[in-house]
Copies of this chain bind each other. A is one copy, B any other.
């Protein structure tokens, strides 16, 4: 038995845990620059290749950020950084799981919209209205989708919970919505979507949390119901 820590699992896994522990214990602050890959590898006693894989893993998790030619840095550890992979989940999910994802979105987004009705500022409301009118002024599906996403994002961020906003961002990833909504809107759901958006907007202007929550739940619920029917038939 030697004095070095016994090998648990793969060396790369060890390295990942080591770095995660350093951050968890506060020895590495957000934004701080790490030693070079070569130094880190030597320090832990593994090869640079393995250390690179560990860094890649932490990069994917949104914990580290590698800048070519500059160095490796700890991210700000904000919700957006850490939940980026959430979009991948939405992109690769199919069948019944899509309905489950929409259900989660309905629950979170309706709550967030309700909160937003009580907290939204005049500036934020103006931004929401900008996307609402822009969405109604064009027929280009791409543009509509972009403003649709921005419309909801603005509302959700007005609720004041960055973590929830980040999760909903992943749940509303562009490719995800494009996939689900393509069929939905082809069935002439444009008019209904506009009506629902208008209802949400009205509730926000009226600072009516209950109505806003219900309107958002109904909005997402419509898509959810349509998708459920698609899968069932």
Residues of A within 8 A of B (CB): 12, 20, 23-24, 49, 52-53, 56-57, 59-61, 63, 77-79, 82-83, 85-86, 88-89, 91-94, 97, 100-101, 103-104, 107-108, 111, 161-164, 167
Q: Which of B61, B89, B107 contacts A88 (CB 8 A)?
A: B61
A-B contact pairs, 5 of them (CB 8 A): A23-B92, A52-B53, A63-B88, A82-B88, A108-B108
Decide if A103 touches B63 in the complex (CB within 8 Å): no
Decide if B163 touches A97 in the complex (CB within 8 Å): yes
Decide if B77 touches A92 in the complex (CB within 8 Å): yes
Main secondary structure of the interface of A (DSSP, over half): helix
Question: Taking the nearest CB of chain B, how far is it from the CB of A155, in angstroms?
Answer: 16
Question: Taking the nearest CB of chain B, how far is it from the CB of A203, in angstroms?
Answer: 19
Known contacts A20-B92, A92-B24, A103-B164; decide if A61 and B79 are in contact (CB<8 Å).
Answer: no
A63 cross-chain contacts in B, Cβ below 8 A: 88, 92
Decide if A104 touches B49 in the complex (CB within 8 Å): no
Known contacts A24-B92, A91-B24, A104-B164; decide if A12 and B56 are in contact (CB<8 Å).
Answer: yes
Decide if A100 touches B12 in the complex (CB within 8 Å): no
Q: Which of B82, B93, B162 contacts A89 (CB 8 A)?
A: B82
Known: A20-B92, A77-B92, A79-B100. 9 other contacts (CB 8 A): A56-B57, A60-B60, A79-B97, A82-B89, A82-B93, A83-B86, A97-B163, A103-B163, A104-B161
Q: Which of B53, B94, B111, B161 contacts A100 (CB 8 A)?
A: B161
How far apart sit A111 and B104, CA to CA, in the bound complex (Å)?
A: 10
Closest to A106 in B: B111
Closest to A23 in B: B92
How far apart sit A78 and B100, CA to CA, in the bound complex (Å)?
A: 11
Question: Taking the nearest CB of chain B, how far is it from the CB of A13, in angstroms?
Answer: 11
How far apart sit A2 and B103, CA to CA, in the bound complex (Å)?
A: 46
Question: Taking the nearest CB of chain B, how far is it from the CB of A162, in angstroms?
Answer: 6
Decide if A88 touches B20 in the complex (CB within 8 Å): yes
A108 cross-chain contacts in B, Cβ below 8 A: 104, 107-108
A86 cross-chain contacts in B, Cβ below 8 A: 83, 86
Q: Which of B85, B104, B163 contacts A61 (CB 8 A)?
A: B85
